Amino acid sequence: MKRHFKICEVPPRVSPQDWSDWHWQMRKSLQSPQDFAAYKVQLTEDLIRAFESRSFQVRSTPYYAQVALQMAAKSALHKILVPDIAELTSHGQQMLDPLAEKKHSPVSRIIHRYTDRVLFLVTDTCSVYCCYCTRKHFTAQGEAGASSQEYSEALEYIRSHPEVREVILSGGDPLTLSDERLEGVMGDLRQIDSVEIIRVATRMPVVCPMRITDDLVNIFKAHKPVFMMTHFNHPEELTSQAAIALEKLVDNGVPTFNQMVLLNGINNHSAIVRELSYRLLLLRVKPYYMFHCDPSEGSAHFRTSVENSLQIQRELWGRTSGLAMPNLSLDIPGGGGKVGLTPNFEISHRNHFRTYVGWDGLQGVYESPPESEVLTPPDADLYQQ
């Protein structure tokens, strides 16, 4: 089946030159009910109340508003952008910092949860503030990058912890920084011998694909290996403009992976996940993670059940290429880290014999060698950290 990537049309009131300029997209961000009304959002009393009552900032690029509110009129993508009075309810688990990132922040702007990698929060600004965001405790606070003192402290922390081999630039969205600022960050990290991998966690290819310029790609190439971690949630987000941006990255040697979040009533169906995965794969983007939604404040209506998530994964199993299969994971509230969720295909276990049933109902028995026969490779100690 040939998959088509729709064009996001330029609104008649905007020049194509402005529309294709990521700086213009940032300057013209939608933030008020009136801004969204220009993109055909009906200003109901509930919507006005949601805008006035929520404690978290609202923002969208004009491009993404055009995609979510017009192109995908039959989907529920607009719920990612537009406040809902459901955010004001207190039912269900709700936490301002569900992943306990503050607990794992030894210095400002650094989150060190896993031994060999850190998150470097280079800015608290995003071009779009998603209503289900897990980092509401940090984003859109000062609308700025790290101060010179915070920046120096973060670099010194990384420098003084040689076990850190990987730095993930996050925030906010690091691609809201200027090219000059971003190149400076990457250049400083490349001066630290122990840093091998730089990851960039961004939603810009989704919400502002015009940000992926030739100059930006050249910065990534100059500081390789740089891995791009993007965040498409729905097939409708993969427009022709987004496809061009993604192919520009991979054509220039920037490995690109996608992390999606299962959102109740928006994308929590195996057919939607499968279509997104195959469209990504056609563009040489690896579907990487499929996250269960975190219990951040105001997000209870976005969270689907764990049983529903597992059912989606089970329906994908065997019917979707392994290349297109994202890893279903959940972040343990309170800072416990990621845990993989996998449908259980084992139906019995007796002595060394384990019986499994496949996705299509076929059963088979696997004889597992006893633990006494398991050997440790002789050179394993050479690779111990």
Output the DSSP codes for 259-297: EEEE-TTTT-SHHHHHHHHHHHHHTT-EEEEEEEPP-BT
Q: Which of 358, 350, 309 is nearest to 330 (CA)?
A: 309
Q: Residues 59, 199, 294, 303: which is the catalytic one?
A: 294
Which one of 39, 59, 97, 130 is the catalytic residue?
A: 130
Q: Output the CA angle 231-236-239, nearest 5 degrees.
A: 85
Coil, helix or strand for 129? coil
Q: Which of 126, 131, 208, 293 is catalytic?
A: 126
> Would residue 27 show up in a list of annotated catalytic residues for this protein?
no
Whole-angstrom distance, CA of residue 58 vs CA of residue 142:
14
| Rg of the chain over all Cα atoms, to the nearest angstrom | 22
Q: Which of 116, 338, 354, 356 is catalytic?
A: 338
d(CA 110, CA 104): 8
Nearest Cα residue to 174 out of 153, 146, 133, 142: 146
Does 338 qualify as catalytic in the annotation?
Answer: yes
The arrangement of strands across the sheet holding 337-340 comes to: 110-114, 117-121, 166-170, 197-201, 226-230, 256-262, 286-292, 327-332, 337-340
**Of the residues 97, 124, 173, 331, which is catalytic?**
331
6 tagged catalytic: no
Residue 110, both tokens: 């650094």
Q: Is 188 a catalytic residue?
A: no
Active-site residue (options: 114, 278, 289, 356): 114
Q: Is 353 helix (H, G, I), strand (E, B) or coil?
A: strand
Tell me if residue 224 is catalytic.
no
Is 21 catalytic? The answer is: no
Q: Catalytic: 117?
A: yes
Note if 279 is an active site residue.
no
Question: What is the rounded distance in angstroms from the CA atom of residue 231 to the CA atom of residue 216?
Answer: 18
28, 117, 165, 248: which is the annotated catalytic residue?
117
DSSP string, 81-125: TS--GGGG---S--BSSTT-TTTT-SSTTEEEEETTEEEEE-BS-
Whether 331 is catalytic is yes
Q: Is 294 a catalytic residue?
A: yes
Of the residues 109, 135, 211, 303, only one is catalytic, namely: 135
Which residues are tagged catalytic? 113-114, 117, 126, 130, 133, 135, 294, 331, 338
